[in-house]
């Protein structure tokens, strides 16, 4: 009697669940970054401290790589972290840009263009992952460059409207980083289309029980 093709190999290790290995150092660091979001809103609106809010936002943006480094350095990667980290990054970015729009410290057209790209690309990736079983893929190098530029531009707009002597210089920095960063973010968003299509096809092939397994 032959073994059905859908039977799992006795030597195969079960896939890690999403909520396994949640309590790790990188996930804790990501959580700490998320907990700084209310502090940012408090500084910006309750204290009317644009400079303090801007420097906190710049710090949060500049530490985006730390949780990933900790996960690789101490071998603490997890399925939860792969979802939690980019979700927190996108949440911090969307909320902070929206707050700065309300504050009036960023050009409305620029902010809407940034948010539209984030919501469209993030929404497509989330939908494809949850409902189309897309295999996750890493952010491209150009995508990281776009994010770095925008995470420098957004707090620079805030500092450019703060009551500090160097505010004119930060307005220049905001535009120097913002325009290329915005253009690059849309370019990489378009470049993600074939990666998403490939990820959906790979995910469907993996989840299809009729796909023959190698002998």
| Residue 135 in tokens | 């295999």
> How confident is the model at residue 100, as a pLDDT?
97
The span from the CA of 25 to the CA of 30, in Å, is 9
The span from the CA of 109 to the CA of 95, in Å, is 17
Residue 58 pLDDT greater than 50, yes or no: yes
> How confident is the model at residue 214, as a pLDDT?
39
> How confident is the model at residue 140, as a pLDDT?
84
> How confident is the model at residue 16, as a pLDDT?
55
Could you tell me the pTM of the whole model? 0.83
Q: Which of the pair, 210 or 168, is modelled with greater confidence?
A: 168
* CB of 27 closer than 8 Å to CB of 81: yes
Which residues are within 8 A (CB) of 158 and not within 5 positions of it... i.e. 6 or more apart? 44, 50, 53, 54, 57, 100, 103, 105, 106
Q: Which of 112, 91, 99, 86 is nearest to 54 (CA)?
A: 99
The span from the CA of 59 to the CA of 44, in Å, is 15
Could you tell me the pLDDT band of residue 188, with boundaries at 50, 70 and 90?
A: very high
The span from the CA of 172 to the CA of 23, in Å, is 42
Instruction: Please give the full DSSP string across 127-162, using - where no structure is assigned.
Output: HHHHHS-PPP-PPPHHHHHHHHHHHHHHHHHHHHTS
3-state secondary structure of 167: helix
| Residue 211 in tokens | 């796909």
- The percent of residues above 90 in pLDDT, for the chain, comes to 57
Residue 6 pLDDT greater than 50, yes or no: no
Could you tell me the pLDDT band of residue 12, with boundaries at 50, 70 and 90?
A: very low
The span from the CA of 37 to the CA of 114, in Å, is 19
Domain boundaries of the chain, sorted by first residue: 25-206
Residue 55 pLDDT greater than 60, yes or no: yes
CATH level 3 topology of 25-206: 1.20.120
Lowest mean pLDDT among 5-19, 22-36, 129-143: 5-19
pLDDT in tens, 89-117: 889 999 999 999 999 999 999 999 999 99
Residue 38 pLDDT greater than 50, yes or no: yes
Across all residues in the chain, what is the average pLDDT?
A: 86
Average pLDDT over residues 40-65: 94
> How confident is the model at residue 102, as a pLDDT?
97
Could you tell me the pLDDT band of residue 210, with boundaries at 50, 70 and 90?
A: low
> How confident is the model at residue 76, as a pLDDT?
82
> How confident is the model at residue 2, as a pLDDT?
41
């Amino acid at each position: 009697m032959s073994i059905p093709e859908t039977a799992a190999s006795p030597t195969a290790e079960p896939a890690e669940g999403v909520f396994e290995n949640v309590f790790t150092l990188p996930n804790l660091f990501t959580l700490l970054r998320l907990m700084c979001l209310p502090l940012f809103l408090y500084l910006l609106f309750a204290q009317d401290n644009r400079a303090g809010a801007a420097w906190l936002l710049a710090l949060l943006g500049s530490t985006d790589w730390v949780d990933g480094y900790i996960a690789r350095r101490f071998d603490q990667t997890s399925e939860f972290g792969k979802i939690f980290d980019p979700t927190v990054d996108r949440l911090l970015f969307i909320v902070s840009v929206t707050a700065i729009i309300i504050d009036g410290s960023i050009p409305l057209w620029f902010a809407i263009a940034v948010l539209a790209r984030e919501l469209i690309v993030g929404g497509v990736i989330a939908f494809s992952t949850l409902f189309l079983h897309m295999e996750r893929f890493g952010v491209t190098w150009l995508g990281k460059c776009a994010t770095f530029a925008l995470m420098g531009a957004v707090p620079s707009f805030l500092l450019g409207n703060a009551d500090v002597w160097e505010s004119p210089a930060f307005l220049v920095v905001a535009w120097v980083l913002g325009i290329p960063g915005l253009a690059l973010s849309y370019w990489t968003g378009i470049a993600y289309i074939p990666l998403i299509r490939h990820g959906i096809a790979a995910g469907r092939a993996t989840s299809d029980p009729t796909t023959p397994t190698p002998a």
